[in-house]
Amino acid sequence: MGTLLFGMDNRTSKENQLIEKGEVTGMRPGSEVIHSEKAEEKPASEKTNKALAVKPIVRVLSEEEHEEALINRPKPKNVTPLATAKLTPKDIPVFEDTPERRETLELRKKRHFKRKLRDWGIFTGYLTPSFVGVLVFFFLPLILLLKTSFQKSPTNSDFVGFRNYERVLTNEAFISASKNTLTFALISVPLAVVLALLIALLLNSGLPGKSIFRSFLLNPMMVPVASVVLIWQVFFSYNGVINGIAADLFEGAQKIDWMKSQYAQIVIMLLFLWKNLGYNMVLFLAALNSIPHEILESAEMDGAGPLKRFFAIKLHYLSPTIFFVGIMSLINSFKIFREVYLLTGDYPFDNLYMLQHFMNNSFTHLDYSKLSAGAIVMCVVMIIIVGGLFFAESKFDSDVEE
Amino acid sequence: MDELTRIERKKQATLARRNIYTESKAPETFITSMSEEARELFFASEKKRIALNLRKRKIRKGIITGIGVFIAAFISALALVPIFFTFLNSFMSSEEIVANYNTVFQSMSGHATQGATYMSRTPVLKLIPEEVTIKQYTTLLFMNPEYLFKYWNSILLTLPIVAGQMVVACLASYSFARYRRKRREVLFFSYIILMLMPFQVTLVPNYMIADTLGILDTIWAIILPGIFSTFAIFLLTKYMRQIPSGYIEAATLDGATEWQIFTNIALPLCKNAIFALTILLFIDYWNMVEQPLVLLTDVNKQPLSVFLSQINEPELGIAFAASSVYMIPPLLIFFWGEEYLVEGISRSGIK
C-alpha cells in the first residue's frame, strides 16, 4: 500500500522502495545521493533501523557538491497511483445474477423506457399542431405535385414516366428562367453579405451615432412592396427621375429604359440590396460585438494591423454568422420575385424572367404537368443547395470549435 | 559550451526558485551617460515630439471618423430617400403630381401611343411640394370607401396569420429545441426546405386542397397555410437552442413540469425573438401579393397590397398618399419595437 500512498509524490521508485523498507525518514527529494555515499562508508553490521531512527546521518556537503546534487537530481517518473496498485480478483465487484437483482434491473429498464416514452409524448405533443398543418398544407401538396408530375394531366391520370421532365428540361423558357434565377442569387447573395459586413465594420469602428445609422438602415425593410414598386417606377422607368438627373448632369446622356435593357437585373439587385442590407448588417453588428475583445486588444498590442486583425480573428468568429446571413439572403432573393412581378408584370425583359414567372405563366396557361415537373426539379435543386450549405456549415463549425 | 550554459541556466533557475537573487550593477545607458542639463533638454524635446505626434494622430483619427460618418450618412440617405420621397409627395396636390409624373406612367402602360411614350420630357425629383395640402388624404379616405375596405381586408388577413403562426411556432420550436433525435433533425431540415420554397412551387396543389376543403375564395385559404408556415419555427428554434441547459435542469430538479418550463423559462427568455419575429412576420404578410391574387378571385376580399400594386394612371393623384397610409402601420410597429427587433435579430445569428 505504501506505493499507493506516496504515489502522488514526485519520488522515484527507488526512493519508494527505501521508504517501504523503513530505512529513510524525512528525506528530501534530492538528497538520495548523500545517502548512497554514506551507505558505502559504513560497515553493514552497524546499519540498523534503530540507529538510523535515533540519529539521522548528517553530512555537510561542500557548496559545489550541493549544487551538483541539486542540479543532477533524478527526474521523477510518471507514477500514477493506480498503475502501481495490483488489483486482486476479490477487489473487482461481481454482481451475482440473483432474482432480486434481476428484478431491480428490470424495473430500472422499465422506468427508463417509461421516461423515454413520456419525453417523446410530451415533445411530440408540442409539435403536433405545427406538424398536422405542415402535413396538410405543405407536404401533401408536394406529394400531389410529385404525382401529377408523372401524369399526363391532373385529370387524366395516365402514367407518362419522365416525359414531363423531358418537356420541361428542354423548354427554352425554363432553361433561361433557371439561369436567370441562379445568376441573380449567385451575384446578389455574396454582394449582400459582403456589403453588409463592410457597413457593419464601418459602424463598429467607433462612429458616433451608431444606433441612429443602424435604425436608418433598417428602415427600408419595413417599407411595403407596393410603395417600393411605386418609388422604383418613378425612378427607373424610361421617363423616370434617374434618366432626368442623368440628362441634367451630362450633356447628351442617352436615355436608358432601365427595366427593359441589360441593366434590368442590376436595378432589381439594387432594390434587393436596398431592402436587405439593414437586416444583414444588424446580424453582423451583433456578431462583431460578441467577439471577445481581450483577444483583439492583445492582437493589437502584438502589432497586428486592422487588416490582419480582421482576417485572422474577426473572420473566424464571424463565420457562423456569415453562413446564417447567406441562408437568409438566399430566402430573400427568392422573395424578390414579388417586386419584379409587380414592376414588370407577367412577361418581363428576358434577363428578368425568373422561375416563378415560368410557374405563374404555366399556371395561367393551365399547363399543370409542366408546372409540377418544373417545381419538382426546382425542389430537388434547392434541397441539394441547402443541404450542401448546411453540411458545409456543420463541417466548418466543428472546425471552429476545435 | 552548450552544456555549460545549460548548467548555468539551471543554476540560476534553482537559485531563483529559492528566492536568492544576485545583485547586478545597472549598465550604462544613453540617459545616464548624459549630463544633467542635456538630459533636461532631451526630455523637453521628447515631450514636444510626443505631443506633436499625439495631435497628429488625433487629427488623422478625426478625419477618418469624419469620412466614416460621411459614408454612413450617405448610405442612410440612400436608404431613406425613397421613404421621404413618398411622404413628401403625398402632400402635393393631385394636379401637381399628375403634371409631374404623368410621363412616367404613360411609358409604363400599354395604351399610350408610341410617340407619347418616347417624349423627351422627364419628371423632376420633387421633394418639396409647391403647396402643402392634405387633399390627397381627404380624397383617399372620404371619397374612396373601397380603399378603406381593402385596408380592413389587409388587417383581417395579417393579424390572424401572425398571431396563429407565433403560437404554433413557439410550441413547435420548443419541441425541436428540447427533443433532439435523429428523426426530428431530419424533420427540421425538411421544415427549412419548406421555408425556402417559393409560393409558386405548391401553387396548383394548394389550390386543389383549398378547393377540396371548401375554403377557396375565402380568407381562410390564405390564413391557414400562413399559420403553418415554417419561417418562424426555423428562427425560434435557433434561438431556443441557446437557452443554457442548466436552467432547464435546475427547473426539473425543483419539480417543474414541462409546461411550466415552457411558459416560465423558455418563453420569457425568448421574448425579444418573439417580438422581432412578430414584426418580421407582420411586414411579410402585410406585403402579401401572390397568394391573394391566386386564391381570392373576389376583388372585394383582396388586401390593399394587391390593389396598390395595380395603381396606374387614373389613380396616380392619390397613389402617394395611399402608399404613405399603407406604410404607416409597419413603420409605427418598427419604431415601437425597434429595440426588440434589433435584439431579436442579433441573437439569432450568433452561435
pLDDT digits (tens, 9 = 90+) for B311-320: 655 667 777 8
In the three-class reduction of DSSP (H, G, I as helix; E, B as strand; rest coil), residue A159 is classed as strand
Same domain, A204 and A80: no
Number of alpha carbons in the 13 Å side-chain half-sphere of residue A204: 21
Distances (CA, A) of A371 to A15, A148, A338, B226: 86, 9, 19, 22
Give the per-residue pLDDT at B118. 46
Give the distance from residue A375's alpha carbon to the nearest chain B alpha carbon, in angstroms: 5
What cell numbers appear for A131 in the block? 406538424
Rounded average pLDDT over B123-135: 71
The verdict on residue A196 lying in a domain is yes
CA distance A362 to A154: 13
Same domain, A87 and A99: no
Query: Which one of A70, A155, A223 would you mutate to disrupt binding with B, by most B Cβ within 10 Å of its Cβ?
Result: A223
In CATH terms, B134-349 corresponds, of 3.40.630.10, 1.10.10.10, 1.10.3720.10, 3.40.50.2300, to: 1.10.3720.10
Write the CB contacts of A213 (distance below 8 Å, at least 6 apart in sequence): A203, A207, B72, B73, B75, B76
B193 → closest Cβ in A223, A337, A383: A383
Residue A131's Cα: distance from chain center in Å?
Answer: 26
Length of chain A: 402
The verdict on residue A29 lying in a domain is yes
Q: Which residue has the cell 399543370?
A: A368
C-alpha torsion angle, residues B95, B100, B102, B103 (rounded to 10): 160
pLDDT digits (tens, 9 = 90+) for B176-196: 998 888 888 889 988 988 888
Give the per-residue pLDDT at A80. 61
Contacts of B72 in chain A (CB under 8 A): 199, 202-203, 207, 213
Report the number of distinct structural domains present in chain A.
3
Contacts of A341 in chain B (CB under 8 A): 289-290
Highest average pLDDT, of A37-41, B61-65, B301-305, comes from B61-65
In A, minimum Cα distance to B70 occurs at A207
End-of-domain residue from the set A91, A106, A121: A91
Task: Spell B297-325 as b/e; 16+ CB within 10 A means b.
Answer: eeeebbbbbbbbbebebebbbbbbbbbbb
ipTM of the complex: 0.78
In B, minimum Cα distance to A195 occurs at B75
Contacts of A255 in chain B (CB under 8 A): 122
Phi, psi of A257 (to 5 degrees): -85, 90
Q: Report percent pLDDT > 70 for chain B.
A: 87
Write the CB contacts of B140 (distance below 8 Å, at least 6 apart in sequence): B147, B318, B321, B322, B325
Query: Which one of A117, A128, A137, A199 would you mutate to disrupt binding with B, by most B Cβ within 10 Å of its Cβ?
Result: A137
Same domain, A87 and A103: no
Contacts of A127 in chain B (CB under 8 A): 171-172, 175-176
CB contact under 8 A, A129 and B168: yes
Handedness of CA A295, A296, A301, A307 (dihedral sign): positive
Beta-bridged to residue A159, according to DSSP, are A151
In the three-class reduction of DSSP (H, G, I as helix; E, B as strand; rest coil), residue B138 is classed as helix
What is the mean pLDDT for each group of 10 consecutive residues in chain A (402 residues)? Answer: 42 51 48 46 48 57 78 66 64 75 91 90 90 90 86 76 85 89 92 94 86 87 83 78 75 72 87 91 88 88 88 86 87 85 81 84 82 86 84 72 45
User: Which CATH number characterizes residue A378's domain?
Assistant: 1.10.3720.10
CB contact under 8 A, B198 and A225: no
If we measure between CA atoms, which residue out of A225, A378, A200, A167 comes closest to residue B202? A378
Same domain, A80 and A103: no
CA distance A125 to A131: 10
CA distance B122 to A248: 10
Phi, psi of A159 (to 5 degrees): -80, 125
CB contact under 8 A, A230 and B195: no
If we measure between CA atoms, which residue out of B198, B161, B199 comes closest to residue B283? B161
Return the amino acid letter for A131. F
Lowest mean pLDDT among A77-91, A212-226, B30-44, B50-64: A77-91
CB contact under 8 A, B342 and A282: yes
Give the per-residue pLDDT at B213. 87
Question: In chain B, where are the structural domains located?
Answer: 134-349
Same domain, A58 and A171: no
Query: Which one of B182, B189, B239, B351 would you mutate to disrupt binding with A, by most A Cβ within 10 Å of its Cβ?
Result: B351
CB B21 within 8 A of CB B15: yes
The verdict on residue A227 lying in a domain is yes
If we measure between CA atoms, which residue out of A392, A389, A278 comes closest to residue A330? A389
Same domain, A200 and A54: no
Query: Which one of B96, B121, B201, B304 would you mutate to disrupt binding with A, by most A Cβ within 10 Å of its Cβ?
Result: B201
pLDDT digits (tens, 9 = 90+) for A357-382: 888 888 888 788 888 888 888 888 88
Give the per-residue pLDDT at A111. 93
CA distance A242 to A250: 12
Higher per-residue pLDDT: B225 or B32: B225
CB contact under 8 A, A244 and B168: no
E strand or H helix at A323, and its extent?
helix A315-335
Instruction: Residue A17: count other Cβ atoms within 10 Å of its Cβ.
Output: 13
In A, minimum Cα distance to B78 occurs at A274
Does B119 lie at the interface with A, CB-CB under 8 angstroms? yes
Distances (CA, A) of A276 to A280, A323, B285: 6, 15, 17
The verdict on residue A32 lying in a domain is yes
Cβ within 8 Å of B, A 300-319: none
In A, minimum Cα distance to B212 occurs at A136
Q: Which residue has the cell 386543389?
A: B208
The verdict on residue A156 lying in a domain is no
What cell numbers appear for A374 in the block? 418544373
Does B205 lie at the interface with A, CB-CB under 8 angstroms? yes
Same domain, A382 and A353: yes
Same domain, A60 and A132: no
CB contact under 8 A, B196 and A330: yes
CB pairs under 8 A between A and B: 296
- Containing structural domain, residue A365: 164-401
Give the per-residue pLDDT at A73. 72
Rounded average pLDDT over B42-46: 92
A144 → closest Cβ in B103, B205, B227: B205
Handedness of CA A318, A319, A323, A324 (dihedral sign): negative
Does A265 lie at the interface with B, CB-CB under 8 angstroms? no
Same domain, A68 and A125: no
Query: Which one of A67, A144, A234 would you mutate to disrupt binding with B, by most B Cβ within 10 Å of its Cβ?
Result: A234
Same domain, A17 and A142: no
End-of-domain residue from the set A42, A71, A91: A91
Does A138 lie at the interface with B, CB-CB under 8 angstroms? yes
CB B79 within 8 A of CB A220: yes
Return the amino acid letter for B55. R
CA distance A96 to A101: 8
Give the per-residue pLDDT at B197. 82
Same domain, A240 and A326: yes
Same domain, A267 and A319: yes
